[in-house]
Structure 1
Amino acid sequence: MEISWLGHSCFLLRGKKVTLVTDPFSPQQGEESRLSEISASIVTVSHNHSGHNNVAGVGGSPRIVRGPGEYEISDVLITGIASYHDDKRGQEYGRNTIYVIHIDDLTVCHLGDLGHVLREEQLEEVADVDILLLPISGDHTVNVTHAAEIISQVEPRIVIPMHYRPATTGDVPDPLNKFCREMGIETMNTQSKLVVTRNSLPAETQIVLLSPR
């Protein structure tokens, strides 16, 4: 499977037979995207905010997955898990859906705009996650301290941070800098995409930094 970050919380998961896009953002986000050039099979939407629900901007005729439940589309199994956009049970920003995606013998978890550490019932659903797509900005999502706690809760093999604005000047974005310090990462090497199989998963948790395409 190939994973590319398109910016914000939007990823392109390209499997052997299926292409999936998470949380497509609107052009108003100020981050360039080539969503219309991507012909996706599936689009997941974690919550109905403009930075995450621009399904019309994705090319092709994808199946749209919104909200908690179990979905099976083109041999891809998706479980939507109820959660909150804040740490006050949704009183500030509403609800959020975590997605656990089984694709090409790998399990990917997209946390959306999660605003709290995982609760016991949510942890049961993400127990076998290989790859965790994790917000780190602290801007309407968990901050770096809670992000590190979630990594300890889930113990995935690969973590890819998201939901921070890439720097345009060559400087390291502040949320990413704080996250790397929290995780003890001294050298920040970014890559354009991650190609991963079941056999190539690292033995211990590894942080992968992607540059938006």
Structure 2
Amino acid sequence: MKIKWFGHSCFLLTSDNGIRILTDPFNEQVGYPLPETRADIVTTSHDHYDHDNVEIIKGSYKHIKGIGDFTYDNITIRGVSTFHDEMGGAKRGKNTVFIYSIDDITICHLGDLGHALSQEQIKEIGKVDVLLVPIGGVYTIDGNTAIEVIKLLKPRISIPMHYKTEHLSFELDGLDSFLSKISGKRANCNEIVLNKDSLSEYSEILALDYL
């Protein structure tokens, strides 16, 4: 399978048989070039402009939002309820964490998670091979809490997202701050190709490029 990062929290997950899943597409206000892609499935973690711009997707697709279990072809997707802040959603509402099982690899997209995970949520998420984790603070968990979440979920690979770059139009903590606290590697590409056997070939913390 392939994982491609378009910036912010938007990834394209492509299975070996060509099924395409797009996560949290953003609009032009965010600052990154808009993804120009087709998708079979689009998941949105919550209804904010930097995560739910499904109108840009070409062709027909299935839009998945909210909690529950979903199946498409041989892919399974689970939505787990969390919050967009540390006050039980009082400030910014709910957030859905999505877990995708694709080609025997489990990917977890934390969306705009705003708090440390509870033991119940960790159990519901289950085993994770690849974690897509926000690190920028302000609207999500910051780097310190992201490291706590990584230690609890124990993924083989963690890919940071939702942080300040030269393209992002609003202020968040940057990648350097996060990497100063945990050993990781910057990839000089926006896409990686994975299978069950190749997971160990990548750094445990892998920051993709978005260009």
TM-score bucket of the superposed structures, by smaller chain: over 0.9
**Residue equivalent to 1:50:** 49
Q: Does 1:140 align with 2:165?
A: no
Q: Structure 2 matches for 1:162-201, cutoff 5 A? A: 162-167=161-166, 174-185=173-184, 188-201=186-199
Alpha-carbon offset, residue 204 of structure 1: 9.1
Distance 1:30 1:205 in 2: 28
Distance 1:199 1:189 in 2: 19
- Contact 1:11 1:21 survives alignment (8 Å): yes
**In structure 2, what residue type is equivalent to 1:32?**
P
CA 1:134–1:20: 2 relative to 1, 3 Å: same
Calculate the TM-score normalised by the size of structure 1: 0.91
**Residue equivalent to 1:130:** 129
**Residue equivalent to 1:15:** 15
Q: Does 1:6 align with 2:33?
A: no
Distance 2:35 2:54 in 1: 13
**Residue equivalent to 1:91:** 90
Distance 1:15 1:191 in 2: 19
Distance 1:74 1:165 in 2: 36
RMSD: 1.7
Alpha-carbon offset, residue 192 of structure 1: 2.3
- Output one character per residue of 1:165-213: Cα deviation in whole Å (capped at 9) or x when no partner: 3236xxxx9520111011034x644422111100111189711111113
Aligned-pair identity in percent equals: 39
- The 3-state SS of whatever aligns with 1:206 is coil
Distance 1:149 1:205 in 2: 18
Q: Structure 2 matches for 1:15-164, cutoff 5 A? A: 15-17=15-17, 18-35=19-36, 38-164=37-163
Alpha-carbon offset, residue 76 of structure 1: 1.0
**In structure 2, what residue type is equivalent to 1:13?**
L
CA 1:4–1:203: 2 relative to 1, 3 Å: closer
**Which segment is superposed worse, 199-208 or 133-142?**
199-208
- Give the aligned length: 206
- The 3-state SS of whatever aligns with 1:145 is helix
Q: Structure 2 stretches of 5 or more lacking a match? A: none
Q: Structure 1 stretches of 5 or more lacking a match? A: none
Alpha-carbon offset, residue 68 of structure 1: 0.5
Distance 2:120 2:179 in 1: 28
Alpha-carbon offset, residue 91 of structure 1: 0.3
Calculate the TM-score normalised by the size of structure 2: 0.92
- Contact 2:164 2:173 survives alignment (8 Å): no
**4+ residue runs of structure 1 moved beyond 4 angstroms?**
none
- Contact 1:144 1:175 survives alignment (8 Å): no
